[in-house]
Structure 1
Amino acid sequence: FDVPVAKQDLQLLLSETFDEAGRPSGFEAAFDYATSLFDAASVEAIAARLIRVLDAVGRDRHAVVGDIEILGADEQRALAPARGNPDAAVRTWPELLAAAVALDPYAVAVTYRGISLSYADLDSWSNRIARMLIDYGVGPETFVALALPRSIESVLSVWAVAKTGAAFLPVDPNYPADRIAHMLEDSHAAMGLTDIDSRGSLPDTVPWLVLDDPEISAELSRYPADAVTDVERTAT
């Protein structure tokens, strides 16, 4: 249609047509668009997609709208290279850490308040914590509460719990005591990891390992630092 000024940003105009006998013979259609927002090629592409949808439902009245292919062959070919690289292999958290250790064991993995741990340190100390947790009965299908502020110990604990096959439950030590108690009871957490500063505000719903307690630190240092095996994870 000869419309000199677009009244809308993009508008579809339809007009029913009739043959000489006055019988319906179809529709004529046009797009009216603002040239400041669309160019002719873009609107032609929109029109082509509309025709594909109409053709699909015209051929099959039971067609599912979400299954109709609206892109043309050229568009499909243009999008195909944008699908990215092949999927990465599925790996567990412990396997991801092991790969990082193998790549550069002495690279800095964690830094907090002037203290840094390399990937090798993070791996070995989280192995020790994991072995202690396993000795306490932690393993697959169990939860361990982590009531720790942001710290190196909090990172070590996440990796340690993952290495046991258990799941960790993050608990903010600043939560009200009754809320923490509810979280521990609701999750059926087997035990928890915390630090000296946080222990006093935590309920005794579960046994707590205080990681920076001198006795616990000494006990941890006696555990082997080598990788936790699948047999150890499933022993519980």
Structure 2
Amino acid sequence: SNSDDICIGTQIAGRGEEALDDLVGMFGNTLALRTSVTPEDPFSTLLEQVREVDLGAFSNADLPFDRVVDLLRPNRSLAYSPLFRVLFMLQNFTPPQLDAAELTISPIEPDVVVAKLDLSVVVAEHLNADGTREGASGTVTYATDLFDRPTIERFADRLGRILASIAADSSVVVGSIPIVLESEDAVIEAINSTASAHEAATLVDLFTEQVDHTPDAIALVSDDDQLTYAQLDTRTNALAQHLITAGVGPDTLVGLAIRRGIDLITAIYAVLKAGGAYIPIDPDHPADRTHYVITTSAPVLILTADDDTALPTDVVRLRIDTLDL
């Protein structure tokens, strides 16, 4: 959960007093069990902490859950339960057996299960006739708005891996408990691999390389106008030299208030070749927004084409469509 503060709920029968054994009624209550998890601690330390927290909660089990919520006053929402969203229950009792002549009694589980919380985990112990533990089984109930079956199956698989790991060595460090499957290891390695057979190159380097390979190939087409890579290279070089003489270089910004077309691509590559960075300015944006972008970015100049009437008058402007290079 990427959290070191874990709070889960559990339900208790509320029949801790012997005097309640023969009474009919619902005495159940809900406890909130809150534990601070430190990834560097061994699991045995975490287990001792959980035991202390749980014993403290069970010793105050008579305090109604609603009263706890009233006292803590958490942010309430109709979308989830207060204090916790995950419920864990351990059923460690043997259901009573009723023997009657010529009568067979067996429980019937309802077909419809409604998730009252985001996630509920119920673990039931299986006991032999002599009361010794034979094993356990569990069920998970989940909100289908939040989870799907494959996700819950992965949760259950990870829970099994955690239990196997701590059963083998209770001193294992909490943050080192393996939860990733071998098949997922390969995916993680592939996604996070930064190895590359390509050498580092800038956009200008790649453009120059393409010019050398295919100088006569068509690079840009806009309406009835088109440029080859060699022609585009010549235009961008000339404009870049002009920008350098105008003060453009590393750590400088140039505004581009040009609509989409050959002039815009020429301006982009020219600014990059001059060593600067460009700020896109949409000529169709409101004047207030354009003024805000220019004021906050403080470009050394703004390249325009066709029409630049919407730009502030106190900035240096160059119209590349009429500029003599």
**Normalising by the residue count of structure 2, what TM-score does the alignment of the two structures yield?**
0.51
**1:191 is matched by which residue type in structure 2?**
L
> Relative contact order (alpha carbons < 8 A, sep ≥ 6): 1 or 2 greater?
1
Asked if structure 2 preserves the Cα contact closer than 8 Å seen for 1:177 and 1:202, the reply is yes
Which residue of structure 2 aligns with residue 114 of structure 1? Answer: 224
Residue 205 (structure 1) aligned with residue 311 (structure 2): no
Task: Report matched runs for 1:4-83 at 5 Å.
Answer: 14-17=123-126, 27-29=136-138, 47-56=156-165, 59=170, 63-64=174-175, 69-73=178-182, 76=185
Change (3 A) 1:75 1:175: closer
Which residue of structure 2 aligns with residue 124 of structure 1? Answer: 234
Asked if structure 2 preserves the Cα contact closer than 8 Å seen for 1:140 and 1:165, the reply is yes
Change (3 A) 1:199 1:82: closer
Residue 173 (structure 1) aligned with residue 283 (structure 2): yes
Which residue of structure 2 aligns with residue 164 of structure 1? Answer: 274
| Matches of 1:155 and 1:7, distance apart in 2 | 61
| Matches of 1:3 and 1:79, distance apart in 2 | 41
Deviations along 1:75-117, whole A, 9 cap, x unmatched?
5458767888942332211112122223322222211112112
Identity of aligned residues (%): 29
**1:63 is matched by which residue type in structure 2?**
V
Which residue of structure 2 aligns with residue 155 of structure 1? Answer: 265
Change (3 A) 1:45 1:193: closer
- SS of match in other structure, 1:199: coil
Identify, as 1 or 2, the structure richer in helix.
1
Which stretches in structure 2 are left out of the alignment for 5+ residues?
1-107, 115-119, 142-147
Q: Which has the larger radius of gyration?
A: 2
Residue 98 (structure 1) aligned with residue 220 (structure 2): no
**Aligned-residue offset at 1:153:** 0.5
Change (3 A) 1:172 1:52: same
- SS of match in other structure, 2:307: helix
| Matches of 2:319 and 2:190, distance apart in 1 | 52
Change (3 A) 1:102 1:51: farther
Equivalent residues, number: 207
Change (3 A) 1:43 1:149: closer
**1:97 is matched by which residue type in structure 2?**
F
- SS of match in other structure, 2:259: coil
Residue 188 (structure 1) aligned with residue 298 (structure 2): yes
Change (3 A) 1:20 1:164: farther
Which stretches in structure 1 are left out of the alignment for 5+ residues?
221-236
| Matches of 2:314 and 2:134, distance apart in 1 | 78
